[in-house]
Amino acid sequence: MSDSAPAGPKPSSSVKLVLLGEAAVGKSSLVLRFVNNDFQENKEPTIGAAFLTQKCSLPTRTIKFEIWDTAGQERFASLAPMYYRNAQAALVVYDLTKPSSLVKAKHWVAELQRQASPGIVIALVGNKLDLTSSGGADGEPSPAHDDADNGGPGPDAEADDEEAVNPETEEQDNSTSDARKISTREARTYAEEEGLLFFETSAKTGFNVSEVFTAIANAIPETSLKGAKAGGAGAGQTTLGAGRPGEDSRVNLGDRSAAAAKEGCAC
């Protein structure tokens, strides 16, 4: 018998993924880049939530991401649990040029760790890398972080260290026309401590965007994947109305109906 018989279609699994983060950090722009490979310079803020889907092809499996892009405004924060409930993955996004957005991101990580599904894969994503001097590569840590590492502060020094770092970082940024306010080392260290995936991205240029979703797809345990027929709906998946290719659906929080988006691989 010949060993060259064509292989059957790869198994397909549905993955519910939620985006969380402060308003205007670029959550919707990241999704738009991943799904449509597009960027809108003056994209309107998300009101309520948006739902999109996109497939990611792995060597042994196809992952269909069911993406809930939540609004970042504080008035919607209390309703976020209805979106991350039963999610297998989460992108927690912050703005590399805005220190308060990392504080908010840490809040969301803590909430997910307390209330989301056990084993949820969380990626911490620093967006707007295009506004930093590093552009399309990891940014260099600030001098203050180098001094802190050499001094070896203990865990209790974290708050004091952050206060000490910001003025020096700001001075450095002003002198080099670099808008970065959060060093790569600071965020990566936090991500490693919490067991998170970590990326710095630019939705504007597309840098590292598909890599984030590919890493999440690879990190999700097989046991938590929902099986699905090739090209069909996954087990327990709600059937959604058809929409134009690449279209996202704006929905009010609490409204589970949405239009399906383009399904192609952006990985």
Q: Is the pTM of this model over 0.85?
A: no
Least confident of 59-68, 219-228, 243-252: 243-252
Answer yes or no: are the C-beta atoms of 47 and 71 closer than 8 Å: yes
pLDDT (tens digit per residue) in 149-199 = 333 444 343 333 433 344 344 444 443 458 999 999 999 999 999 999 999
pLDDT at 205: 97
pLDDT at 176: 42
Bigger pLDDT: 106 vs 240: 106
Identify the CATH assignment for 12-132+182-233+240-251 out of 3.40.50.2000, 3.40.50.20, 3.40.50.300, 3.30.460.80: 3.40.50.300
**CA–CA dist 209, 199 (Å, integer):** 9
- Number of residues written out for the chain: 267
pLDDT at 151: 39
pLDDT of residue 90 exceeding 80, the answer is yes
pLDDT of residue 208 exceeding 80, the answer is yes
The tokens for 67 are 């993406």
Count the alpha carbons within 13 Å of 91 in the hemisphere toward its beta carbon.
38
CATH 3.40.50.300 residue window(s) in the chain: 12-132+182-233+240-251
Cβ atoms within 10 Å of 91's Cβ, excluding its own: 28
pLDDT (tens digit per residue) in 22-48 = 999 999 999 999 999 999 987 777 766
The top-scoring range by mean pLDDT among 125-129, 143-147, 235-239 is 125-129
